[in-house]
Homo-oligomer: A and B are copies of this chain.
Amino acid sequence: MSEPLRLGIAGLGTVGAGVVKIVRQKAALLEARTGRPIVISAVSARNRDKERGVSLATYEWVDDPVALAARDDIDVFVELIGGSDGPAKAATEAALKAGKDVVTANKALLAHHGQALAELAEAKGCVLRFEAAVAGGIPVIKALTEGLAANEVTRVMGVMNGTCNYILTRMENAGLTYEQAFDEADKLGYLEADPELDVGGIDAGHKLSLLSAIAYGTQVDFHAVELEGIGRVSAEDIRQAADMGYRIKLLGVCRLTGRGLEQSMAPCLVPATSPLGQLDGGTNMVVIEGDQVGQIVLRGAGAGEGPTASAVMGDVMDIARGTRLSTFGAPASLLKRATPAKSTAPAPYYLRMALVDKPGALAKVAAALGEAGVSINRLRQYGQSRESDSAPVLIVTHKTTREALDTALAAMPETGVVLGSPVALRIEAA
């Protein structure tokens, strides 16, 4: 094959510009490794005049990404617009309908419309790849879809939002409050325009839903991901966790059991000595556990121009080499609808709550836990809070189901001694 592979790139932000740079500056390397030249035919973005640090003069400029997607002079449509709907979706559909292969970095698009797009790609004999959508430069989609394909996956875990990990790391290492660390991340430009996408766990949840689909052969079901952001994690929680040998991470976990598919993205305690516990700053990590391979850990930069463009180009080069895979690693028609299940694997939980400072308060809480079948492993009550009449209490439970814990938590208001809503974090064996 010496025919050039012709790209049409829509979206010329940081990642788009990075992709253009690689295609221009590494033409010989790309051709040596794939056996054919990789070229850009046309590009599209909202603002034609923006300085992007790379020349676009030799490419056709197309204002409408949908028109770009269906052009005769492109083989692969590279979608870097972003957003779950709107032009990203319209252009991706147009490309597939026109028989073009698609490479995208768009986790929101696939989390919301992955199944329909996979079916469309399959019907048209096209390839739809998305390595850059999950954990940036880490080739985790490839590892899960291809390298570990002979495994029944027993669990996938991941720290996949660098901004959250940065905030939690700063709270721990610099002793900042959540608000201070959040502001710092904001000033550094780490936060999405809507910060809730980051700190609410939505962005990481999108990614987890894609990994679940590949791992378990199920239809992407982002809406079934149990989402909990990091906004309620306090510096005190981080200190207490550290005292017990744990660190707090916004951790995605998915596993398939007899009850259904569990997908959760929530702050969890992980052992400080585990690979996940040792992860600092903006780095991402995905842990894949398979029945044959045991535990595989993948770590690297989860965002940024170079890493994300590296992942986009890895997909493009696969296509140039003639590799043609199903979107989620199995034909779309075979992907099953999974029954969403609450996390049922018993785990210990970390609880923090404030009690009214009255005799017998703790006994009432202990009784409520006991009635729900939740037993206490460790308990720590410390002196009255300076600002109020409340007394903070920390409890680590023995292994329990989420269901039993929720029953116990639901009973807390009735005790009449618990102020506000307790913080409950799962302790995940990692």
Contact = CB atoms under 8 A, between A and B. Distances in A.
Interface in A292-329: 292-301, 304, 306-307, 309-311, 313-314, 316-318, 321-326, 329
A268 B130 CA distance: 38
**Copies of the chain in the assembly:** 2
Contacts of A137: 148, 292-294, 296
B138 A314 contact: no
Interface stretch (A25-33, A42-50, A179-187, A246-254): A25-33
A103 B317 CA distance: 22
Given A32-B330, A295-B300, A296-B138, A22 B150 contact: yes
Given A307-B293, A314-B147, A217 B131 contact: no
A87 interface: no
Interface residues of A, number: 58
A291 B309 CA distance: 11
Contact of A150 (B294, B304, B314): B314
A299 B313 contact: no
A297 B299 contact: yes
Contact of A33 (B149, B278, B293): B149
Nearest to A288: B300
A35 interface: yes
Interface of A: 18, 22, 26, 29-30, 32-35, 131, 137-139, 142-143, 146-152, 217, 275, 278, 290-301, 304, 306-307, 309-311, 313-314, 316-318, 321-326, 329-331, 334
